[in-house]
Chains A and B, each alone.
Chain A
Amino acid sequence: MLRPDIDVPDADKGGAMRSLTRRSFVRHSGLGLLTFWIGGCEVKMTPREAHEQGADMRVLTSAEVASLEEFGETLLPGSRAAGIANYIDHQLGEPADRQLLMIKYLGVNPPFVPFYREGVAALGRAARAAHQLDFHELGAARQRELVSQVSRENPPGWGDGPPAPFYFFVVRADALDVTYGTMEGFEALGIPYMAHIEPPGRWGE
């Protein structure tokens, strides 16, 4: 079966070709190739590549992207370059039954756009309440200080956003996904991905 949003070439062909292409796909990225848009053209890329190439966002505004990337970078340095905002934005534009975001099994029913959008807004309100600046303007030390508070409680100014510690947990999980959930991430930790290991035989084809 060819999944429309994850490109597995020749996946509906049988035998060794399917095995080979699946492994090639997984080798490229544990996260998979997602469809992004550059200049109105569809391109299959990893979130990291989408970030590098400045792919268009489908759901989030540029201000929301800036805040989300800065929040992600504070949660897990490197997640901005790994494409955290591109990944979240892509998934928010997908139908609910094809969502890959971890929030889907954390007790929140779709659609998930309000969760992320309200979380970004609440983080901005909290930053402005404390420092009269947006979150992405705070600088690293103040960002860490505010994020530490967000991890424990709703900071002043947070308002009607999702519970701050839960928002922290969810975006932190997204940051872990794009940073360490890929083959590059496994490699950085010295953990063998092991989808490389060719099984002694494939059954059921």
Chain B
Amino acid sequence: MNLPADKVDVAIVGSGAAGSAMAAKLAEGGKSVVVLEAGPARGIADLVSSGIWARRLKWGGAPVLEEGQHPVGYVFNSGYGTGGSAAHHYAVWPRFHAEDFECRTRYGRGLDWPFGYAELAPWYDEVQSEAGISGDADLEIWRPPGAAYPLPPVPVYPQGETIARGFAAQGMRTAPLPLAVLSQSYRGRAACIWDGWCDAGCPIGALANPMAVHLPRALAAGAIVETDATVTRILTDVHGKRATGVEFARGSGERQRVMADVVVLAAFAIQNPRLLLASATDRHPRGLANSSGLVGQYIMSHAAGLIYGLFDEDTRCYMGAFGGQLVNQDGYAKDTHADNGAFGSYQWMIGQAVKPNDLLGIGTTRPELFGDDLHAFMRQAARGFGSMTAVVEDLPVATNFVRLSERQDQFGVPLASVTHTADPASQALWQAVLDEGSAIFEAAGATRVWTGPRGPMHIMGGTIMGGDIAASVTNSFGQCHDIPNLVIAGPGLFPTSAGVNPTFTVHALTARSADHLLAHWSELQT
């Protein structure tokens, strides 16, 4: 693909959920858009239904160094190539709750968002209509106000039915898990066949990843998606007041530039602050957009609360979606487990489709077994395995941050080093959740119950938004306080992590930002 020789309206760094959604809206709004993706080109028809092959969808760029007691699992949680992390995401799309936006105000802990739930609600509605979410808004009694889901709920298989029994026995409720996976054909896309290969990408476009929803729209509107293009620097004018474009490198080492009126960083929560810090100039000696000193700070990662069990029933645990079949948010109030010193929200994703191998596969859940014992377990679990996962909120902590390492990548850019140790209250919540989940499985009749280690799930923060320029990096639309035509998109903007999956909120935020940019385009030129 030949890049335009002249300046474009928008250069977007990253082709994941935020980058592709921003590209679609801005291109459809008449802007010339170039998306730069570090990894290889990939379409939905290139996705192979294999957990081993799917590892190629994980991050394959410059190493990220991890420190602290609870690493964020960067390679597992991020992506590489067209679609970014969203190419392998599980499409669990619940909404954040009102209290997630007002954590500091309501509880005196964490941070506040620069707006409340009601402000974002219209964009949640818009995005769910575009992408297609399957669910039952009435049964999902915890759900904040919003339009009903456009598609009926996902099917429930014996694994989900069996575990739901345990919730009922504990006086807890379940509802269909809201999934951006099509339960019926929708807007020209095929319905899911519930084969459980979500993490390997969805080759039929039933799952709302960027290749299925936003990138086709962006391309149809004239956007250019350039792969094998690792952005190495954000360019600014001599006054340091405006972003003027980006420099990027090919795998061959060749350097090129794209000049643009607006630069959007959508390279996920670690690479965005890395690029800002690595683009320091005389005008911005601590890194771009870093007058607050907060670029890189407040990195968050949900803790996964993993519950496993064996049941007498044939659970058909390989059927369904990778994210699960049912949801429970009875414990969403942030003080549910305050007696244990815990704080924060969580939800249960119930009845994940599992495969025999890989990090989340059946064999890995009992890592102590080997030899004939491992074979015997595999045969038993293939019939009666059950699992559910809690998404456990991670409080924002200023000492969880991204900084530049002294080591450099092949292009001379310092590597990102990420430090993350969970707040004790978040860690206590994870422990309390494990106890609750184990009790639910026992109540469901599991013949054996065990738990998994604290796994990192999702990465957020690092370029948080806010109304106070001294306490945040961007405004509520992702525009950097110091450089308004430099825009951040993605979960790096989140001031708090909530207790649900982030991708739906990433999309809603991005749609809101894109609408604002289009409505105020002339102001971005000055």
Contact = CB atoms under 8 A, between A and B. Distances in A.
Interface stretch (B24-32, B56-64, B233-241, B255-263): B56-64
Contacts of B45: 11, 18-19, 22, 202, 204-205
B371 A97 contact: no
Contact of B46 (A11, A189, A199): A11
Interface string B7-44: 00000000000000000000000000000000111111
Given A192-B318, A204-B45, A176 B212 contact: no
Contact of B370 (A22, A32, A110, A172): A172
B192 to A, nearest CB: 9
Interface stretch (A60-68, A71-79, A117-125, A126-134): A71-79
A22 to B, nearest CB: 7
Given A107-B71, A147-B370, A96 B357 contact: no
Contacts of A76: 370-371, 374-375
Nearest to B187: A203
A190 interface: yes
B193 A194 contact: yes
Given A1-B41, A22-B45, A181-B357, A109 B63 contact: yes
Contacts of B158: none
A81 interface: no
A67 to B, nearest CB: 16
Interface string B273-307: 00000000000000000000000000000000000
Given A176-B356, A201-B190, A32 B50 contact: yes
A113 interface: no
Given A30-B52, A105-B75, A105-B76, A176 B364 contact: yes
Q: How large is the interface on A (under 10, 10 to 19, 20 to 34, 35 or more residues)?
A: 35 or more
A169 B367 contact: yes
Contacts of A31: 50, 52-53
Interface in A147-182: 147-148, 151, 168-169, 172-173, 176-177, 180-181
B189 A203 contact: yes
Contacts of A151: 368, 370
B88 to A, nearest CB: 11
A195 B318 CA distance: 12
Contacts of B195: 194-195, 197
Contacts of A8: 48
29 contacts: A6-B48, A22-B48, A25-B48, A31-B52, A75-B370, A75-B371, A75-B374, A76-B370, A76-B374, A96-B60, A144-B371, A169-B367, A172-B370, A173-B357, A176-B357, A181-B50, A181-B52, A181-B357, A191-B356, A194-B49, A194-B195, A197-B193, A197-B195, A200-B185, A201-B185, A202-B205, A204-B44, A204-B205, A204-B211
Interface of B: 39-46, 48-53, 55-56, 58, 60-61, 63, 65-66, 71, 73, 75-76, 80, 185, 188-191, 193, 195-197, 203-206, 211-212, 216, 318, 355-359, 361, 363-364, 367-368, 370-372, 374-375, 378-379, 382-383
Given A189-B356, A199-B204, 11 more contacts: A30-B51, A30-B53, A31-B52, A78-B375, A110-B63, A148-B370, A176-B363, A181-B51, A203-B189, A203-B205, A203-B212
